[in-house]
Amino acid sequence: MPSDKFGLKPHIRNVGYYVGKNYLVDDGNTSSRKALELMIKNEMNDIIILDGSHINGFVTARDIIKRVVLANRSLDTTRIKDVMSTNVLTIDESSSVEDAIALMSNNNVRRLCVTDSHGNLLGIVIRQVISGEYFYQVPINALQPPDKYICPFCNSGFETKEELSIHIDQVHIGVGRLQVRR
């Protein structure tokens, strides 16, 4: 991979590097109240629901708030298997971060279960963690559509960096603040 203008070579790690290996597991029969208490006590935000080694789903604190509390259901009698997300997507630990971000974006999810080459659960990877790392390590020009520079404020497209810079100065920051006067 080429160096950036500072001579640094971006190092893009695979998904396995970002796996959170601390996670809670349950069979799904725990009450929503107990699940929330476990999450708070362990400072975690989700529980993976397993049947043996098979991933049935996972539940987050957000799921419980939306599907139990806001739906006026009982925290004591509603089991987490009744409110868990069953659309569990998995990704192999050797997959690229770019593939993980695309999978999450295309499926509108924030978490992926990460497995080894044999399908065994290794942990969870969270969009917020990998996307921040990804954008810091990938050169910005690699994220731009070919032959077009996009304004981060209004998504307008420009042919050159200079045109984009002038647009940002004039429209979003104020005329002349960053421009060199000639």
Domain edges within the chain: 15-137, 140-173
Answer for the pair 80, 32: CB distance below 8 angstroms, yes or no: yes
Q: Which of 88, 71, 76, 87 has its CA nearest to residue 36?
A: 76
Report residue 135 CA to chain centroid gap.
12
Of 93 and 155, the structure prediction assigns the larger pLDDT to 93
The mean pLDDT of the chain is: 79
Question: What pLDDT sits at residue 38?
Answer: 94
Q: Which of 24, 51, 56, 18 has its CA nearest to residue 37?
A: 24
Q: Give the global pTM.
A: 0.61
DSSP annotation of 169 reads I
Of 140 and 62, the structure prediction assigns the larger pLDDT to 62
Question: What pLDDT sits at residue 91?
Answer: 94
Is pLDDT above 60 for 127? Answer: yes
In this structure, what token pair is assigned to residue 135?
A: 């954008």
Q: Is the dihedral of CA 148, 146, 127, 5 positive or negative?
A: negative
The string of pLDDT tens digits covering residues 14-58 is 888 888 878 899 999 999 999 999 999 998 888 999 988 788 998
Distance CA 63, CA 46 (A): 9
Range scoring the smallest mean pLDDT among 8-12, 13-17, 135-139: 135-139
Report residue 137 CA to chain centroid gap.
16
Length of the chain: 182
CATH of domain 140-173: 3.30.160
Mean pLDDT for 138-150 is 53
CATH of domain 15-137: 3.10.580.10
Phi-psi sector, 72: left (phi>0), alpha (psi -120 to 50), beta: left
Residue 114 identity? V
176: helix, strand or coil: coil
